[in-house]
Structure 1
């Protein structure tokens, strides 16, 4: 090859390298960006779409479980029994010289002391009580009577007993005897003492150290039969007199 040809080729190669260098360089001009028309790969220029998130709640219903008998608590409601009915006793007072009964209501667990209190309280405040009187005043009976071997023992205050008119002392003793015996089972007689000394009781059969209800039949209004045996007892307050036509 001739030298002139080499020189020409070298010049052409130098120009080609210059063109490549220019095409690979950093572009120059205004520092601005322009929107690219048309579709962009992957939809990068699509408008932003709001994203909706749906939350699903699952409700689980559990079947009721049977209670464990071992864990059950038993509540006991106290049962209040109704109070027992009151007891009725018969207290004897005097009406026109005879023993006359009056009914009183007491606690079922009454004893000799409650009977004494009823005697000391006197006749009831009603139409029947207006016709009755009592010679057993508070203080006549000392302490509470006691029962031993089927006999009720009553201690009397000497001064209180002597303050009773002599004709009424028998009636006072009869009130006590009949009231205590008619309302106290398992006993049959009553005896009296003053300062631990035995008091003789004037009965239908004479003076006795102990007396029963039958010893005061006359005061109870029992009529005498021709043979002298007491007849049926009569309530002196409720006696009905028949007037023959």
Structure 2
């Protein structure tokens, strides 16, 4: 049985690239710097924020950026401009839980970048069993060891877990840890061909499709009892 469904945040559970592009350019403007292009943002999307910013804005003072980013992040969250989890996605999480699966998040975001998702009044409260982020993981994606803490804490075998993400780096991490992987293509930023060098167990076009996809994968992985036709009496 697939006991745990582990989910990436950005462009998987919620669509965020466009919102983050606006947010980060807002931060740059408050620091008196010019905006980055959408092309450079897309080319570095999926990398940890402070790893990507030197390419997005060469010469940037990362410490100053991080301080202002926290202020603007809170403003965007409060205004409903970032990390909005669609109702149908929340319903999908409920369906996964109703099927006896533990739902967890695993992201390369820092603790400060996910603290609002951990709030007791957030829609994810009670739906997510654990959140793994850069603050409580020794390794980050695409390193397969990013799942070390999760596997140690749950005692689950890798094949009892499944990771859902949107990037080849997500696939690489899951493959490296021995987890099954489902690629979510809802953002439209990536195509099947982008995952060509990685093992992908299923592709889904929208996040709510995860419920049926997990059920199908579990059925394939579970040996079916041999059906023996009863013999007629002699």
Is the TM-score greater than 0.5? no
* Max Rg structure: 1
- TM-score, reference length from structure 2: 0.30
Name whichever structure is richer in strand by fraction: 1
Structure holding more helix per residue: 2
Q: TM-score, normalising length from structure 1?
A: 0.29
- Which structure ranks higher in relative contact order (CA pairs < 8 Å, sequence separation ≥ 6)? 2
